[in-house]
Structure 1
Amino acid sequence: MRVRVQLLLALLMLTVAVGTELAGPFVAKRLIDVHISGIEQPWYAVSGSVAAGDRYAVEYGGGVYKRADHFAEGEARGKEIRVLQAGRDYYFIPSGIGFDGTRTGGGDRAITIAKDGLAVTYEAAKLSRGELYRFFRPEIGGMLRLSWYYFGLLLLSAAFSYGQRYYLQASANRIIRSMRTDVFGQINRLPVRYFDNLPAGKIVSRITNDTESIRELYVTVLANFFTGTIYMAGIFTALFLLDVRLAAICLAIVPILFVWVAVYGRFAKRYNRIVRSTLSEINGRVNESIQGMAIIRAFRKEKKIEAEFEAFNMRNYIYKNKLLSLNALTGHNLVGVIRNLAYVALIWYFGAGSLTGPEAIVSVGVLYAFVDYLNRLFNPIVNIVNQLPNLETALVSAERVFVLLDEQGEDVADASMPRCRGDVAFEDVWFAYKEGENVLKGISFEAKQGQTVALVGHTGSGKSSIINLLFRFYDVDRGRVTIDGVDVRNLPRQTIRRHMGIVLQDPFLFTGTIASNVSLDDPSITREKVEKALADVGAERVLRHLPRGIDEPVIEKGGTLSAGQRQLISFSRALAFDPAILILDEATSNIDTETEAMIQEALEVVKKGRTTFVIANRLSTIRNADLILVLDHGVIAERGDHETLMALRGKYFQMYRLQSGEKAGTVRAAAASAADPGQAAAETTGEKATSSKAAAASRR
């Protein structure tokens, strides 16, 4: 509401500013026609007694004269005289004139007036500067008064112009602030699926570059369009008040301007879309390159990355040049052509009028005002034309931003629920990231409160997909996932996640301190809880050597900390929120053996009372799990605890023995012996024979 008020106030102040500014030529017109050129109006002799004390009475050559427009109604008038200009001189004619036309001075004693082949010479006296000043002196007061009016109008216009610019920019800044907040909030509302195919750099570009272009729409583009429209409306009103016919001729500029904007927009919109798109690609490439700088240099791909970047950069350059050519073609030069055509029309009108009859001849003041208004008319046109590139850029940027805002999202819920027990069940769950390509096929299992469930399997078997469904990063296609018997789809996502904690393989740390990364600035997480969480995972032994301890600054992504330190902080973060369900996604795969042993020891304490899901490639870390699910291409191939699965001598048995360092053939033979002892013996014998041949070959 406040933004609307500011915008309306800005438009109101703009209207007043334009009105006061456009009143200037009317003041100048009166100054010229009444107080300067008015000296050429008829003058009449008055008696000395009447003229006594009359500020408009002028004494000259023994007589007293007063200009016709200064006589009161019914006031007696004497003999008519005229004061006319010829060249740079003024002449006193002691009589009236028959007609006016081209004037020629005849020395100091005569003036000749010619028109339509007729020429009349009048006896006249050339006026000196002092004598001429006498006739202008009655007008000095009016001239000073109008000058003060003009100056006052300029001050008023400047004050209201400042006000409208301030309020317009203030409202624009407020709008863009709200828009950026909405866009960032929308990002939090969008499902994780939306970000699968959209690089981070493109999203950043929409929040920063595109919203800034929209700000320019309000601050510069709309300001110039509003100003120009009101300005032009005021000027055309003034032109019609001065002369209807010439104003009608100038109206031809309006359709030309509309056609101009339409043609320009047709080409500029396409170019700007490509420019904004390539700019997003450039931002995406820069973001990706910075994040992957170590890999790029390790594999010597600097030239390749530069070439890919240059391809987008060149495309951006090419279309910016096309925009530049379009702007140059339809910019100031075209305005100059239209302005010159308007001046031609003005000259033709006044020139033709002076030849066809005196009724078309206008005063000097009207001519001055017309030229002044005509000059002023093209200033807003130039400003509007100059803002056409920014207008199209802003429209394309707004289109990109609103496409993001129009994406279907889900409001962040503030609802809370009592701490759940942590009983989790998957019931015949099917799921696919892409339609028709199922990654989970009929998954069913249960995890009771306090149990540890381990998920193992090859890459792409569906381990992380189960966690994604549990966290509701995605929803199931068929079947259902329940927590404490309630379908998770019937609960707000944020409410569920409030009772869940996760530790990822690649921990993410935010800029701040170690303590703030554990608590995430949650007011419910006290410093004591932070310290306890760090102590529970043994992190204080690793972090205590840091100069500031847990208040040690953390830069983006924790670049100054080791992988083990980052992982310990991530563990502490999950535990500080005291989750009912704890998820460890290959959480110990990137840390050293000593740190892993420390965490494993701490987790045995931490797991108590919590339902824990563990995705692990190191099978030695899940020997104590209550339930191990062996996944294979989206189905549960085996399930049970460690001893049960080892007794089965199936996939889990093979993976475990391989990780224990045994040869592949021996493992396969051992696995096969459970089903066919004879086949197992044959495989073992064949393997021994192969080994003997290899040994003999090595001796030779």
Structure 2
Amino acid sequence: MSTGKRLFQYALNFKRIIVFALAMLSVAVAADLAGPFIAKKMIDDHILGIESVWYKTDSETGTAELKGSYYTKDPQSADDESIRILQAGRGFVVTETDIEFDGKRSYEDGILTISQGAKAAQYEAELLSSDELMNFYKLELPSIIELLAFYFVLMIVASIFQYGQRFYLQKSANRIIQKLREDVFRQIQRLPIQYFDNLPAGKVVARITNDTEAIRELYVTVLSTFFTSFIYITGIYVALFILNAKLAAICLLLLPILYVWAKLYRKYASKYNHVIRSRVSDINGMINESIQGMSIIQAFSREKETHQDFEKLNREHFTYQNKLLSLNSSTSHNLVQVLRNIVFVAFIWYFGGEALQPSAAISLGMLYAFVDYINRLFNPVQGIVNQLANLEQALVAGERVFQLMDEEGIDVSAEEVPRYKGNVVFDHVSFGYKDGEYVLKDLCFEAKQGETVALVGHTGSGKSSIMNLLFRFYDPQEGKILIDGMDITGMPRQTLRRHMGIVLQDPFLFTGTIASNVSLEHPDISRETIEQALSSVGADRVLKHLEKGYDEPVIEKGSTLSSGQRQLISFARALAFNPAILILDEATSSIDTETETIIQEAMDVLKEGRTTFIIAHRLSTIRNADQILALDRGRIVEKGSHDELMEQKGKYYQMYQLQLGKKDG
């Protein structure tokens, strides 16, 4: 399905509001477009209405007096005698003779001369005084006032409904974009970990914020303008066809011209917008990375080089923005002006030709209405042309967002299972992050309930990969992993992780408080459980000096806390969730000796009744492990307790002696 269709599908979620808004828009347009018709009637029937044939009558009511006689426009209540009032130059004259044809008029010495081309006719006439002329105009004033009042009411109605349609269209647009953002964020939570391994966080953020904001502009401004313009154009064409079908047909040529221009414009604008959106994403990614690594940048004096890299991206973004600006500037306003001039030339040519015909009967009101409608026609045309740039930006942004949403994800499962015992078996497991490049090769081991299993080995030996498989961040290519005899690939990921806990080397704290970071706002974890968990890991001794205690605010990543404090909170978090399987991923490698002593004292409490996996570089911290697995290049080369492995004097013995030697040195 195309991006445009998918965006339309989102709009259908709120079709009732949109339909209601469009109904209000239709009423507003109808009320607004009635103006030129009212003006035409006012000009032709009333302002210039005195140039009609006036019939003599005996009635004094609702009539105009001229030299003792009374006249009316209504032939039903009049005599056979009639007069004709015509404007000649700046004055008005009256004649009792029928006019054969109309044309250029002149008056001199009681003679009215009317000429049309080679033809000319003369009539006896008399110049009207101002008072006599006003006697006839007074009859038109009530009708003029009524039309003006009617037009005023229509303008109020149009304003009310215009406000309503804008309010409801933009309300629906805000709801659409709210739903889209929720769907995008929900999709992010469904994506596997490997997706984020290959895409910088800043680029993901750009799609949720910048790209969805561009799509919001589509619904709030672009589609609102398009809907309004389409209904206005339709209404104007209906009015033009009512007035004069031939000229309206000529004006229809605008539509294919606009269509062809829009196709050509989108061809180039799409190319530029793809680059612009990509560079915005790159810039966000680089800014995010620079902020995260600002301490390293400043410590190694890389500010200049980082600025140069940013400047390069920013320059490319600027270049393509200018290309898009040049495209918009050279087409949008110029195109509308050219089309406007073409239509006015056709208008002048058509009415000029009509005026030369002997039977021409083109009124001033008709001319006014046509000019008014043609001017109004180009306002929505200008609106459409001006919004094409925003439309293209939104479509490109939508394409990027839907690419993210089309990524294969994993539905979040709410299925609950009883807390499992924690017997873990790796049965001939092989795994690689890339096809054919295994980082774990034919692993076989068993961790029984309540045992502590330590994983040791040099960097890249596969220790963390074992944890990634156990948590099902990835699945093995060969073999299987069993928990209590159940293959974990047959369990929903969330169900599996519900009874697992992890403490990372660099713990992540969320914005909130110390207490909220322990419970992660889980409804089943009470305040008492939080405090008990913090006390069990010894955090009360380290955090007691804080002003608000466990309600002390924590900002992003817990940067105001020491590494030891963050680690203790992370330990308390794992304990509060009461996992059956606990993973400690080098959890004590980045803390000071005093805090490590506190944690070591709590480890026995934390590991009680749980199957615990420890990844440790400090081999002294795993001496009491029930089982130690020594890894080398993805294989288990040694397996046993600390004493057993020391007796073998193999890989583990060498590593232990090396660390012991460094310590002694």
Q: TM-score range by the shorter chain?
A: over 0.9
1:71 aligns with 2:75: yes
Percent identity of equivalent pairs: 60
Letter in 2 for 1:489: T
Q: Which residue of structure 1 lines up, in the alignment, with residue 632 of structure 2?
A: 632
More displaced, 541-550 or 129-138? 129-138
Q: Which residue of structure 1 lines up, in the alignment, with residue 9 of structure 2?
A: none
Q: How does 1:567-582 map to 2 (within 5 A)?
A: 567-582=567-582
Q: Which residue of structure 1 lines up, in the alignment, with residue 247 of structure 2?
A: 246
Cα deviation digits, residues 351-407 of structure 1 (max 9, x gap) = 12222x133441111111100000000000000011011000000011111111111
Cα deviation digits, residues 536-559 of structure 1 (max 9, x gap) = 111111100111111111111111
Residues of 1 paired with 2:108 and 2:410: CA distance? 93
Q: Which residue of structure 2 lines up, in the alignment, with residue 58 of structure 1?
A: 64
Residues 379 and 106 of structure 1: is their aligned pair in 2 closer, same or farther, counting only changes over 3 Å? same
Letter in 2 for 1:8: V
Residues of 2 paired with 1:601 and 1:128: CA distance? 116
Residues 663 and 16 of structure 1: is their aligned pair in 2 closer, same or farther, counting only changes over 3 Å? closer
Q: How does 1:255-274 map to 2 (within 5 A)?
A: 255-274=256-275
Cα deviation digits, residues 19-78 of structure 1 (max 9, x gap) = 1111111111111111112211111212x2xx143x1x21101221112xx333xx4532
Q: How does 1:78-117 map to 2 (within 5 A)?
A: 78-106=80-108, 109-117=110-118
Note the C-alpha offset of 1:569.
Answer: 0.6
Q: Which residue of structure 1 lines up, in the alignment, with residue 128 of structure 2?
A: 127
Residues of 1 paired with 2:533 and 2:616: CA distance? 23
Q: How does 1:332-343 map to 2 (within 5 A)?
A: 332-343=333-344
Note the C-alpha offset of 1:639.
Answer: 0.6
Residues of 2 paired with 1:487 and 1:366: CA distance? 84
Q: How does 1:315-354 map to 2 (within 5 A)?
A: 315-354=316-355
1:466 aligns with 2:472: no
Note the C-alpha offset of 1:640.
Answer: 0.6
What 5-or-longer segments of structure 2 have no aligned partner?
Answer: 1-11
Q: Which residue of structure 1 lines up, in the alignment, with residue 445 of structure 2?
A: 445
Provide TM-score, normalisation by structure 1: 0.92
Residues of 1 paired with 2:394 and 2:562: CA distance? 44
1:6 aligns with 2:17: yes
Q: Which residue of structure 1 lines up, in the alignment, with residue 7 of structure 2?
A: none
User: Is contact 2:72-2:78 (8 Å) kept?
Assistant: no
Letter in 1 for 2:34: A
Give the match's secondary structure for 1:661.
Answer: helix
User: Is contact 1:20-1:157 (8 Å) kept?
Assistant: yes
Cα deviation digits, residues 163-188 of structure 1 (max 9, x gap) = 11111000110111111111001000
Q: Which residue of structure 1 lines up, in the alignment, with residue 435 of structure 2?
A: 435
Note the C-alpha offset of 1:294.
Answer: 0.2
Cα deviation digits, residues 206-265 of structure 1 (max 9, x gap) = 111111111111111011111111111111111111111111111111111001111110
User: Is contact 2:500-2:581 (8 Å) kept?
Assistant: yes
What 5-or-longer segments of structure 1 have no aligned partner?
Answer: 667-700
Note the C-alpha offset of 1:106.
Answer: 1.9
Give the match's secondary structure for 1:427.
Answer: strand
More displaced, 405-414 or 609-618? 405-414
More displaced, 93-102 or 385-394? 93-102
Residues of 2 paired with 1:639 and 1:399: CA distance? 52
Residues of 1 paired with 2:148 and 2:662: CA distance? 104
Give the match's secondary structure for 1:120.
Answer: strand
Residues of 1 paired with 2:91 and 2:654: CA distance? 118
Letter in 2 for 1:482: L
User: Is contact 1:201-1:280 (8 Å) kept?
Assistant: yes
Give the match's secondary structure for 2:195.
Answer: helix
Residues of 2 paired with 1:125 and 1:650: CA distance? 131
Q: How does 1:175-194 map to 2 (within 5 A)?
A: 175-194=176-195
Q: Which residue of structure 1 lines up, in the alignment, with residue 589 of structure 2?
A: 589
Give the match's secondary structure for 1:181.
Answer: helix
Cα deviation digits, residues 461-489 of structure 1 (max 9, x gap) = 11101000100111111111111110111
Q: Which residue of structure 2 lines up, in the alignment, with residue 235 of structure 1?
A: 236
Note the C-alpha offset of 1:2.
Answer: 6.8
Q: How does 1:601-680 map to 2 (within 5 A)?
A: 601-661=601-661
Note the C-alpha offset of 1:408.
Answer: 1.1
Residues of 2 paired with 1:629 and 1:2: CA distance? 55
Letter in 1 for 2:54: W
Give the match's secondary structure for 2:14.
Answer: helix
Q: Which residue of structure 1 lines up, in the alignment, with residue 5 of structure 2?
A: none
Letter in 1 for 2:348: I
1:28 aligns with 2:39: yes
Residues of 2 paired with 1:626 and 1:209: CA distance? 52
Note the C-alpha offset of 1:662.
Answer: 6.3
Note the C-alpha offset of 1:602.
Answer: 0.7
Note the C-alpha offset of 1:411.
Answer: 1.3
Give the match's secondary structure for 1:501.
Answer: strand
- Higher alpha-carbon Rg: 1
Letter in 2 for 1:466: I
User: Is contact 1:35-1:143 (8 Å) kept?
Assistant: yes
CA RMSD of aligned residues (A): 1.5
Q: Which residue of structure 2 lines up, in the alignment, with residue 692 of structure 1?
A: none
Q: Which residue of structure 2 lines up, in the alignment, with residue 215 of structure 1?
A: 216
Q: Which residue of structure 2 lines up, in the alignment, with residue 696 of structure 1?
A: none
Letter in 2 for 1:594: E
Residues of 2 paired with 1:637 and 1:358: CA distance? 110
Letter in 1 for 2:499: H
Residues of 2 paired with 1:39 and 1:76: CA distance? 16
Note the C-alpha offset of 1:582.
Answer: 0.6
Residues of 2 paired with 1:446 and 1:41: CA distance? 109
Give the match's secondary structure for 2:438.
Answer: strand
Residues of 2 paired with 1:558 and 1:17: CA distance? 55
Residues of 2 paired with 1:582 and 1:479: CA distance? 22
User: Is contact 2:88-2:105 (8 Å) kept?
Assistant: yes
Residues of 2 paired with 1:214 and 1:607: CA distance? 50
User: Is contact 2:44-2:363 (8 Å) kept?
Assistant: yes
Q: Which residue of structure 2 lines up, in the alignment, with residue 538 of structure 1?
A: 538
Residues of 1 paired with 2:341 and 2:603: CA distance? 84
Q: Which residue of structure 2 lines up, in the alignment, with residue 677 of structure 1?
A: none
Note the C-alpha offset of 1:14.
Answer: 1.2
